Structures are given as structure tokens and as C-alpha cells.
Amino acid sequence: MLPETRQLLKLTDTTAAKLEKLHLHSAWDLALHLPLRYEDETQIVPIAAAAVGEICQVEGVVVYQEVQFKPRKQLIARIQDGSGAMLNLRFIHFYPSHQKQLAQGETVRVLGEIKRGYFGDEMIHPKIKSAEKSDLAQSLTPIYPTTNGLNQPTLRKAVQAALNAVDVSEILPDTVLRKLKLPSLAESLRTLHHPPPDLDMKTLANGAFPAWQRLKFDELLAQQLSMRLARQRRRSGHAKSLVGNGFLSEKLLGNLPFRLTAAQEKVCAEIRADLAKSVPMHRLLQGDVGSGKTIVAALSALVALENDGVQVAVMAPTEILAEQHFIKFKQWFEPLGISVAWLSGSLKKKEKDQAKAALADGRIRLAVGTHALFQHDVLFDNLALVIVDEQHRFGVAQRLALKNKGDDVHQLMMSATPIPRTLAMSFFADLDVSSIDELPPNRTPIKTKLVNHLRRAEVEGFVLNTCQKGQQAYWVCPLIEESETLQLQTATETWQNLQAALPNLKIGLVHGRMKPAEKAAVMAEFVSGSLNVLVATTVIEVGVDVPNASLMVIEHAERMGLAQLHQLRGRVGRGAAASTCVLLFAEPLGQISKARLKVIYEHTDGFEIARQDLEIRGPGEFLGARQSGAPMLRFADLATDVPLLEQARQLAPRLIMEYPEVVEKHLERWLGSKEGFLAA
């Protein structure tokens, strides 16, 4: 964050650092940081009427308080209200101040989600207020996406300061606005950040609400403009025409234990044709989980490497994913006499220097790594092809760094988030798309089971059976919205419980808070087979390929989106053994959760699942379900916002031709800096 911005918004260094973590760098970034959901502090719900699964505010007298030590240290309090009903409050982390606030006889107002607990309904870590001191809120309270250590009031203050600082005046031409029939940006931002008192939760949570529509439209417009400009620029670039002699690729194909599918052959041919041109390739390779994109990437790299002195870089967004690629590429390429360099943030300086020197003088021709590959001090001798996996997970700055390394290099982007082809083409502003639309043969279909989490012991028995057969299992804990700490805790607890229940198995734990090197070490143990079970937070979602793993258990599957469930399930069923995916769920299930679980139970094809997702997710479920897998999108969703995308797509070329100053301003607002859009 620029010092001017920090001063303008009166932010402390700590707050600024936390905001950076959320990728909020400019005042506009903050103004466009919109609530994830809203809380209703305008009314008090009688405990008897508060339904499980609902987030609500209740008030009551504390009738009981105890610090328990088993099964773990926790503070339990119980409140009772005029309706006569009681509610438990449970704190796994607590301070003496909590005990004081919840002293017997105190009247407290608490807000949180009602859950079904072991001893009746409960709230875990509710927000507590003293009933006497606090007035009811006049309107709904916005809750922003945040990060550890940055609380809502601080974030809210920063957003407010940003809203006061930016110029929200309308920049879209009148004619355009009249046709769109959308509210102004200023009004939309005001409504979403400060909902007026008469606006209810249901209206605000609906993605079809005009204020949301305006934000989504503006976002899609920024995306279309940036893609279009980037494409124009690339078209005028010159890349090295790469025509392979087939010598290396045929050798690799000969060494493989399988033959390419027809779909893999087809996309390889498309990529080969692009590489032969002197216009830089910019192609998206998409394919369902396990469809075999990696070998296509490897064969594309070989076409390039068959040209004298040419270098190739393969980049992935996380250390785990990059390392997986590194292992595969090494295994495939070393027998061909090609050494592969590894470059990531966690390498020791000496190793990094060695790799950098070898890339700079051209001794090493293939490098695999994270975005560390594109730091300014990494120089390539003759870089001609860059392969980027899961590009949408890189931030703008990283994409920009990539662009700086090679405006004139061929680029192949891989994605495992399948989007129907025509939609992908309009979204990516006519980017070239190759789809692998067939799975390798002889895959035993994955059996999916839906199991109530109360039957955990049976599932543990199943894990034991699987591992005794020499196979391996994943046990995945979900991401808990807004609370990394709580997520970490569930994963750690699950790991401890599993170890206690299955003492003869070797069980590892990997989560997002571990250092990259620690994560890599645990993953390596799992890949090598020395761990039987891997307990993981959702960090393993994309790209892990351990064919010997044949069982996937997913906790709280009812909380996850379909795309995520499909990705996770795709981690098994990659080897010869019959695989199973156990989806644990906790009741009561909402209608949408039920519908989702039914789809994942009945279907295995990613495109079909994406289509059904669209049907289930009416615009009404917009908030809380924001999970667009598409690049650069925070609000718009390709599943539901196709009409807005179409409008943005039609408008973009006209603005570029007729209103260049509007284009520049719009991109500055949405992509942070003028340079942001170049990175598209």
C-alpha cells in the first residue's frame, strides 16, 4: 500500500499490513470490498423461535457458567429468556473477561449461528454485548471478508474512510446507463455498505438486487476491457516460432505406461499449431479433474524444447501444486536427458542462486516453480513458452510479473474449473480454448456415499480397512468462513481424534498455516506412501495426484460448494483400485445443501455438475455462496450472470473505440493501477 494511501485513510501500519493480506492496496480496492453477508442486530429473536442454522440475535439471563476441562478446556454458559427456552454458549478460546461478562445473573445479548450441540442448541463463539448498554441497530450490519487479526469494526472504519476518499461519480456514458437500467455506482455502493433501515436481509442477499447487478456489471466490464486490451497488445507481439521435430515427445510417449486419449491428441495438435506461429500463443487448456492435463503440458513443453536453446517455465499458484508438477516433470524428462530446475520462495538462498544462475546462462532449459519464477531477479536466457496452472489463483501483481518476463512468449494456461466452451470463449474475450472432454479409459468410477457425521466410527473403520489393503486415504476438513483459527482447530482436532481411534495407522496433517517447506514435507510423505492417512484443510483441493489414494472423506460436505466437492473428490479414482468418496454431513440440511449433495451423489462429470450448480443456485443464494472460480471475478458469477456478461462484452469494444478516457478510469478503479489491466 502506498504511504499516501495509508495516510489518506489514516491507517495504522498493522491495519495496512492486514489489508495487504486481503489484496486491498488502494482506496478503490477498499471501496469495492463488499460485505460477504449481513447480520441482523435490529431485533431480538425469542430463543424458542430461533431455528438451527440461523444467525440471529437473542437476549437472556445467564443461569449457569462453567469452565470444563474434558474433552478439552472450554467455557460453557447457559442463558434463558422470557420464552422460557435456554441456549448454550460455548467458547473454546476465552479470556477472563468472557467469564465476567457471562457471570450468573447478567443479562446478555448474543449474536451467532444456532447449532445443534451435544447438550442441546448452542452458539459457538457468539458476539456478546451487555443488554443494558447497547441499543438495537437501525439497519443491517455488513460483515466483510477478513483475515486473522483484523476485526470487523476496524475493517468497517477503513472501508468508510475509503468511501469518503474516492470519487464515485458516474463515468459511464449516459446512453449506456439508460440502456442498462441499473442504479448509479455511488448509490449501489452506499446501499451495499450501509443498507437503509427498510431493506431486509432477503432482498440484500439476492444477487438480482439492482445494487449487486451494478457491481457485477462493472466488474465484468473491467474484466472484458482488460482482456480485450491485453489481447490487442499480444497480437502485435512477436514470439519465436517453435516447430518440434518430434524426437523428444516421441521418446516420452514411448516411455509412458498409457496411450493418449483422442481428446489429449486433439488438444496437443491445437497447441502445436499455435506454437509454430510467430504470434504469441495465448491458450487456455481446460479439462475435468483427472482428465490428464499434465501430460499435455509436458508434451507442449517438449515441442518447445526440441528447438535449440529454448527455455520453458511451468508455474503453479501454490507450493504443493508446483512441487507435484516438479516431481512429474522430473520423472518424465530426466530419462530424456533434460534437467529440471525447481524454484520456490522456500528454497534456501544458495540453492536459489544456483538455479537462477543456471537459468540465466541457459544451462537449464526447464524450470518449475511458484511465482518465485517471475521475480525481477530471475533472468532467463531464452524463454519461449510459459505454462501457467490455475492462473486465476494468481493475483494481479503476479500476473504482471509474468507478463514482464515475456510479453513475447507463448502462454498456455491450464484450468480444472470447467466452464462450458462457448461461455469460456465469451468470458475470455475470444481467448483460444482447448478442452479435454474425455477421461482416460479404465478408470473405475468413484463410489460416492453420503453419511451422517454421527456415524463417524463406521467411517473410521472403513479408513482402517482401506489402509490395511495398502491403499491410502484423505480426510478433509472444510474452510470455515472468516475464521482460519477455527478451521485449523477442527483440522487439528480431527487429526488427534483419528490418531486416537486408529493407533496403528500413520496419520499426517497438512493445513494452510504451515510453512511451505513443512507442507511439502508432509505431502512428500503421503506421496511416498509412508503416511496412510492425510488429514487436510482444503489446501489439497487442486492438483494433488496420488494414484494410490482410494478413499476421500469430506467433513461437513453440506457446507461446501459443488465445484469444490467435485475437485476434492477428483483426488481419488486416479489409480486402478476402486475408489470411494464419503461425504459426511450434519443435519439439519437446508434445501440447497440437500440439492447439492444429491447432484454430487448422482453425477461425476464436471461439466454436468457445473450445469446443475447453475440451476440450484438461483440468484437468491448469492451472498454466502460467492465462489466464482473464474479469474478476476469477485461478485459476478458465470453460472448466473451470463446476461450481464453479454452486455459487458458488447459494450467493451465500443468504449475502447469511442471513450478511451472512460476505459482508463474504469480500469483504474477496478484493477488498482493502470498497469493492472495489462496483466490480464
Ligand X SMILES: Nc1ncnc2c1ncn2[C@@H]1O[C@H](COP(=O)(O)OP(=O)(O)OP(=O)(O)O)[C@@H](O)[C@H]1O
Residues 405-424 that bind ligand X (CB under 6 A): 416
How is residue 297 written as a grid cell?
Answer: 503440458
Cβ–Cβ under 8 Å, residues 65 and 102: yes
CB of 443 to ligand X, least distance (A): 8
CB of 547 to ligand X, least distance (A): 5
Q: Does 317 bind ligand X (CB under 6 A)?
A: no
Q: Within a 10 A sphere around the Cβ of 169, how many other Cβ atoms?
A: 9
Side by side, the strands of the sheet bearing 107-113 are 115-117, 120-124, 86-91, 74-80, 55-68, 107-113, 127-130
How far, in Å, CA of 651 to CA of 199, rounded? 31
Q: Which of 35, 126, 244, 292 binds ligand X (CB under 6 A)?
A: 292
Q: Does 327 bind ligand X (CB under 6 A)?
A: no
Side by side, the strands of the sheet bearing 472-476 are 447-452, 580-585, 549-554, 472-476, 533-536, 507-510
Comparing CB distances to ligand X, the nearer of 385 and 651 is 385
Q: Is-cis flag, bond preceding 280, omega within 30?
A: no
Q: Which of 574, 626, 649, 669 binds ligand X (CB under 6 A)?
A: 574
Q: Within a 10 A sphere around the Cβ of 264, how many other Cβ atoms?
A: 21
Residues 437-496 that bind ligand X (CB under 6 A): 440
- CA 15 → CA 21, 29, 143, 353, distances in Å? 10, 15, 17, 34
Q: Does 290 bind ligand X (CB under 6 A)?
A: yes
Comparing CB distances to ligand X, the nearer of 395 and 440 is 440
Comparing CB distances to ligand X, the nearer of 570 and 672 is 570
Classify residue 507 as exposed, middle or buried by CB count within 10 Å of its CB (0-12, 13-18, 19+).
buried
Return the bridge partners of 452, or none: 585
Comparing CB distances to ligand X, the nearer of 436 and 639 is 436
CB of 593 to ligand X, least distance (A): 24
Q: Does 26 bind ligand X (CB under 6 A)?
A: no
Comparing CB distances to ligand X, the nearer of 65 and 318 is 318
* Phi, psi values for residue 622, rounded to 5°: -60, -55
* Closest CA relative to residue 305, chosen from 349, 350, 248, 255: 248
Comparing CB distances to ligand X, the nearer of 35 and 369 is 369
3-state secondary structure 622-643: CCCCCCCCCCCCCCCCCCCCHH
CB of 470 to ligand X, least distance (A): 18
Q: Which of 294, 398, 411, 472 binds ligand X (CB under 6 A)?
A: 294
Comparing CB distances to ligand X, the nearer of 256 and 454 is 256
Q: Does 606 bind ligand X (CB under 6 A)?
A: no
Comparing CB distances to ligand X, the nearer of 216 and 574 is 574
Calculate helix-pair angle for 606-616, 591-602, nearest 10 degrees.
160
Residues 234-263 that bind ligand X (CB under 6 A): 258, 260-261
CB of 35 to ligand X, least distance (A): 32
**Pattern 518-557, ligand X, x by CB under 6 A:** -------------------------x-x-x----------
Comparing CB distances to ligand X, the nearer of 567 and 640 is 567
Comparing CB distances to ligand X, the nearer of 88 and 318 is 318
Size of interface with ligand X, in residues (CB under 6 A): 19
Cβ–Cβ under 8 Å, residues 129 and 81: no
**Pattern 358-397, ligand X, x by CB under 6 A:** ----------------------------------------
Q: Does 291 bind ligand X (CB under 6 A)?
A: yes
Q: Which of 19, 159, 215, 289 binds ligand X (CB under 6 A)?
A: 289
CB of 154 to ligand X, least distance (A): 38
Comparing CB distances to ligand X, the nearer of 260 and 614 is 260
How far, in Å, CA of 31 to CA of 11, rounded? 15
Return the bridge partners of 59, or none: 109
How far, in Å, CA of 668 to CA of 664, rounded? 6
How is residue 400 written as a grid cell?
Answer: 504482471
Range in contact with ligand X (rule: CB under 6 A) among 176-184, 284-292, 494-502, 601-609? 284-292
How is residue 196 written as a grid cell?
Answer: 437503509
Comparing CB distances to ligand X, the nearer of 287 and 478 is 287
CB of 612 to ligand X, least distance (A): 20
How far, in Å, CA of 655 to CA of 239, rounded? 29
CB of 246 to ligand X, least distance (A): 18
Range in contact with ligand X (rule: CB under 6 A) among 168-176, 282-290, 643-651, 659-667? 282-290
CB of 387 to ligand X, least distance (A): 12
CB of 416 to ligand X, least distance (A): 3
Residues 125-184 that bind ligand X (CB under 6 A): none
How far, in Å, CA of 67 to CA of 16, rounded? 37
Q: Which of 295, 341, 502, 572 binds ligand X (CB under 6 A)?
A: 295
Secondary structure of residue 342 in the 3-state scheme: strand
CB of 645 to ligand X, least distance (A): 25
- CA 84 → CA 45, 49, 130, 463, distances in Å? 13, 11, 20, 44
Q: Does 287 bind ligand X (CB under 6 A)?
A: yes
Q: State the residue number with the nearest CB to ligand X.
A: 292
CB of 578 to ligand X, least distance (A): 16
Secondary structure of residue 170 in the 3-state scheme: coil
How is residue 639 written as a grid cell?
Answer: 453460472
Q: What is the dihedral of CA 319, 637, 292, 425, to 10 degrees?
A: -120
* Phi, psi values for residue 120, rounded to 5°: 110, -175
CB of 282 to ligand X, least distance (A): 20
Comparing CB distances to ligand X, the nearer of 15 and 448 is 448
Q: What residues line the site for ligand X (CB under 6 A)?
A: 258, 260-261, 264, 287, 289-295, 416, 440, 543, 545, 547, 570, 574
